[in-house]
Amino acid sequence: MDELLVPLVGLEQRVHQASSYYDDEPWQAENFSLDLPGKRELSLVATVAGEPVGFLIASRRPEGVHIHRVAVAPCHRGGGIASWLLGRLLAQAPGLVTLVCDPRNRSALALYARAGFRVTSTTPEGKLFLATGTALRRWSFRERKT
């Protein structure tokens, strides 16, 4: 992922500018570079012509896997990239998978619901904590492809 650091930061900036419900501040290079357990094995980057158009950053936690970031370039949204990224992760992630989402981000919530995530609680900041586990995560992108 090191060779993709600059392009990923640029993609993050574009996603942040185009989204009303993304985090308050875009990630910087140090966020992408932070060494977390399992991050290199679990994180995924989708490319078109060698350029990143989407990414999913995840790491292992004691209770399972946590998704820190899912982003797709504004010009590539609606093409199934986020579904593909989630499907790949869910196919390889054992047990519980969690993430946090702004409740106003209806398109992201619909995507996560289709992938088997369910709201389990609310964070102190008012964001939704979503989770899927082994029993719920039988869905994967490969299984849904026709």
Which residue in 130, 123, 104 sits closest to 20, CA to CA?
104
Q: Helices (DSSP H) in the chain: which residue ranges? A: 5-18, 29-33, 39-42, 81-92, 106-114, 141-144
- The answer to whether 12 and 19 have CB atoms below 8 angstroms apart is no
pLDDT of residue 3: 83
pLDDT of residue 20: 81
> How confident is the chain (146 residues) per 10-residue block, as mean pLDDT?
86 92 87 94 94 96 94 95 96 90 94 94 94 54 35
Overall pTM surpassing 0.75 (yes/no): yes
What single letter denotes the amino acid at residue 132? Answer: T
pLDDT of residue 95: 85
CA-based end-to-end distance of the chain: 31
- The answer to whether 12 and 26 have CB atoms below 8 angstroms apart is yes
* Measured distance CA(140)–CA(69) in Å, rounded: 19
Whole-angstrom CA distances from 63 to 60, 97, 101, 110 are 8, 9, 19, 24
* Measured distance CA(52)–CA(45) in Å, rounded: 6
pLDDT of residue 97: 96
Question: For 42-72, how does the pLDDT look when each residue is reduced to its tens digit (9 = 90+)?
Answer: 999 999 998 999 999 999 999 899 999 999 9
Which residue in 74, 95, 87 sits closest to 16, CA to CA?
74
